[in-house]
Structure 1
Amino acid sequence: MYLQQLSLLNFKNYTEAELSFRPGVNAFAGNNGAGKTNLLDAIHYLALCKSYFNPIDSQQIRQGADFFMINGTFEKDGQREVVACGLKRNQKKQFKRNKKEYQRLADHIGLFPLVMISPYDISIIIEGSEERRKFIDNVISQTDNHYLDELIAYNKTLINRNALLKLIADTGKYDAAMLEVYDEQLIASGNRIFEKRKAFMEAFTGIFNQHYRFISNDAEQVELVYESQLLTDDYAGLLKKSTERDRMLERTTTGIHKDDLQFTIHGMAMKKFGSQGQQKSFLIALKLAQYTFLYQQKGYKPLLLLDDIFDKLDENRTHKLMQMVSDNDFGQVFITDTSAGRMQGIFNNLNIDINLFKVEKGAVNA
């Protein structure tokens, strides 16, 4: 699978752009703010129906315009697939595949698997557990059509249960029957999500370790551990034990919405004790492991998007990374950097021919 063509209308800082790509490495060079990352984000839209950076679709419309359009032509299993995303101000986003509009965007997720590596990913390490759960959920959602539905059902029940706990606190009237209904719904969805996350992490951890060892040249000892209350307790028991605490705090304090990933280096928290280069290496290994996992599950190679990847990586790790992504295990790659010469030099050393685009103020030249 690879992206052959991309066209944009009024998307972010682009009035109009039309690009053709190669199946191998496609590179965008230009100054900061020129629009390199916006091209990657447009590709992300085509694969996952949303921006990687901003959840508000209307904010992707170019200033002064009334709509945006993104069109992409993919080659997949010998077939031509045309994907289109459009949004008019104050209207619902339209998403089409081969001119047929989706009723549910969730039905598109996973058809064109994609992995993005960006400086914004540092939030996975330094921010709260929600960022790490999002990472897990993003990977599983691209391989399991029902997982997203299960998450939506769980979160809806969680909102309802929390609202009931607040109502009980406000009115002083304890509605045991309604609470039991929500508990049963949480337990059913929560257990299914937990089992899928647990199975995913069992397969994923070994892949991650392999990638980190390669990037770091086995220089550091790191560990990735899945943490969940359901690893040691059944969900029904957890909810029962926490009922009084939940009533006091007016929110549900136990469940899979508390799951987390623990990242360590030499037994210590990566967040506190990892250097910027080590943290970036950890994130890259996470994302490359995501790529490998998706490839194994889907049977074809996802798109790999690398945004500003060379910053904070030493020369050895940069070379190892480019050596890896240029290998046959990876398919089409999109990469951005401020220096065309640096990218050209790195890939020349690897004897890899790249498709280089120069980006300047929302204009692209091959």
Structure 2
Amino acid sequence: MFVRELHLRDFRSWQAVDLDLRPGPTVFTGRNGFGKTNLLEALFYLATLRSHRVSSDAPLVHSGSASALVTATVENEGRELTAELRINAEGANKASINRSPARRSRDLLGILRTVLFAPEDLSLVRGDPGDRRRFIDELVAQRGPRWVAARADYDRVLRQRSALLKTAAAALRRGGDQAESVISTLDVWDGQLADLGGQVTAARLQVLAELEPHFTRSYASIAPHSRPATLRYRPAGGVEVETATAESISEILTARLSDLRDKEIDRGMCLVGPHRDDIDIVLGTDVAKGFASHGESWSLALALRLGSVELTRAEGIEPVIMLDDVFAELDAKRREKLVEFTAGAEQLLITAAVADDIPGEIGGRRILVDVVEDADGRRSTVVGDESDSPPERVGEPVSGVSDE
């Protein structure tokens, strides 16, 4: 799988750019803040429908614009699909596939499969549970639209149930019909939350079980003298997930929601469900967060990404591998391991603020990114393309690249 074309309009710092890409390594160089990462972020958004840097869509839209347009043509074993997403600063996004409108944005999922390595990956080990939940949900999402439908519905029910819990205590104190209405409505929301929560948790458990052996082997190859690394799903609220079936997990959640109802009403918040779960990264017998050294944490984060690549390959898909300025963060040993691992990638997209940070073994194309600032504002632009063929001089027009 590889991206053959990438077109951006009003996406972050890019007012307009058209890139012809190809298999093999492509390195985007330029100073920090010039827009290199935004190119990878656009592709990652198409693959997962979320940014790896921000939680809302508004920052993705170029200043002064109402929407951004991301279009990528993806080739996979001779089959070509063009995925297009209009990201609105306000309101729902709009998607199309091969220029035909898609019913929902999530219909794009599965067209492009990517694994993105970024400096933010350290938060997978040292950060909050939400960072690890996003990681596993991104892996689930890339398997296709049906995998994320339950999560979208779960989030909707969770918002509505949480809003009811915030007002439930006062309604129960007043008693009468109002109290009865709150209880009956909570019963309905509990059933829906448990059903959808079972589906979300089961999907996570399945992906985690498939990922773990790849993660364990990747970590052993990076840190052969360290203790073994494993992964463990940790549900919130005292729930014991003994099986991966959605139905049995739903039954467990239903029971726990009933047990915790008084406490949830008192606190005005939902205390159990996949929105509060965590994934423990375990080194030996210890949870890595708060225990692993800086070097061990980087090795674990790198192993999670390497394991993600192997997981996707096990499904018969060669993902597009994207490295966002990670070589500057790694020591020589981890750089060597990453170079060795990505040597066989069908398409490798790399950003680097300093060209010398890229190991010499990585060849391929070099694209120089700069910024232009004039009366129309500040925007990113491509100013040079050094291909495997004789390089063009910086400042001359680049074939296949437009900055209109």
> What's the TM-score once normalised by structure 1's chain length?
0.89
Query: CA-to-partner distance for each residue in 1:8-58, whole Å, 9 max, x for gaps?
Result: 333322233232222111111222112211111122233334433234434
1:333-344 correspondence runs (5 A): 333-343=348-358
Q: Do residues 355 (structure 1) and 372 (structure 2) align?
A: no
Matched positions, count = 358
Instruction: Label 1:201 to 1:85 Cα distance change in 2 as closer, same or farther (>3 A).
Output: closer
Query: CA-to-partner distance for each residue in 1:92-142, whole Å, 9 max, x for gaps?
Result: 533222111222011111221112111123332333222211211111121
The question of whether the paired residues in 1 share the 8 Å contact of 2:48 and 2:138 is answered with: no
> Which residue is 1:320 aligned to?
337
1:64-103 correspondence runs (5 A): 64-65=64-65, 67-87=67-87, 93-103=93-103
> Which residue is 2:32 aligned to?
32
> Which residue is 2:393 aligned to?
none
| Whole-angstrom distance in 2 between the partners of 1:41 and 1:51 | 6
* Superposition deviation, residue 66 in structure 1: 5.5
Q: Do residues 179 (structure 1) and 196 (structure 2) align?
A: no
> Which residue is 2:109 aligned to?
109
The question of whether the paired residues in 2 share the 8 Å contact of 1:67 and 1:87 is answered with: yes
Percent identity over the alignment is 26
1:18-167 correspondence runs (5 A): 18-65=18-65, 67-87=67-87, 93-167=93-167
Aligned amino acid, residue 348 of structure 2: V
The question of whether the paired residues in 1 share the 8 Å contact of 2:57 and 2:88 is answered with: no
Instruction: Label 1:248 to 1:66 Cα distance change in 2 as closer, same or farther (>3 A).
Output: closer
The question of whether the paired residues in 2 share the 8 Å contact of 1:49 and 1:95 is answered with: no
Instruction: Label 1:181 to 1:45 Cα distance change in 2 as closer, same or farther (>3 A).
Output: closer
The question of whether the paired residues in 1 share the 8 Å contact of 2:8 and 2:16 is answered with: yes
| Whole-angstrom distance in 2 between the partners of 1:246 and 1:177 | 15
Aligned amino acid, residue 347 of structure 2: Q
The question of whether the paired residues in 1 share the 8 Å contact of 2:107 and 2:144 is answered with: no
| Whole-angstrom distance in 2 between the partners of 1:201 and 1:87 | 30
Partner SS, residue 296 of structure 2: helix
> Which residue is 1:219 aligned to?
226
Aligned amino acid, residue 289 of structure 2: K
| Whole-angstrom distance in 2 between the partners of 1:241 and 1:148 | 28
> Which residue is 2:397 aligned to?
none
Partner SS, residue 146 of structure 1: helix
Q: Do residues 231 (structure 1) and 248 (structure 2) align?
A: no
> What's the TM-score once normalised by structure 2's chain length?
0.81
| Whole-angstrom distance in 2 between the partners of 1:225 and 1:311 | 30
Provide the alpha-carbon RMSD of the alignment: 2.4
> Which residue is 1:350 aligned to?
none
Moved more, 203-212 or 150-159: 150-159
Query: CA-to-partner distance for each residue in 1:267-317, whole Å, 9 max, x for gaps?
Result: 3342323233322221121122222222323x2212111101113321011
* Superposition deviation, residue 227 in structure 1: 1.0
Query: CA-to-partner distance for each residue in 1:325-354, whole Å, 9 max, x for gaps?
Result: 113xx321111112223425142xxxxx32
The question of whether the paired residues in 2 share the 8 Å contact of 1:26 and 1:334 is answered with: yes
Gaps of 5+ in 2: 243-248, 372-379, 386-404
* Superposition deviation, residue 64 in structure 1: 4.4
Aligned amino acid, residue 231 of structure 1: V
Q: Do residues 273 (structure 1) and 291 (structure 2) align?
A: yes
Partner SS, residue 110 of structure 2: coil
| Whole-angstrom distance in 2 between the partners of 1:3 and 1:344 | 23
> Which residue is 1:294 aligned to?
312
| Whole-angstrom distance in 2 between the partners of 1:340 and 1:269 | 36
Gaps of 5+ in 1: 348-352
Q: Do residues 306 (structure 1) and 316 (structure 2) align?
A: no
> Which residue is 1:208 aligned to?
215
Instruction: Label 1:258 to 1:59 Cα distance change in 2 as closer, same or farther (>3 A).
Output: closer
* Superposition deviation, residue 185 in structure 1: 1.4
The question of whether the paired residues in 2 share the 8 Å contact of 1:230 and 1:255 is answered with: no
Partner SS, residue 226 of structure 2: coil
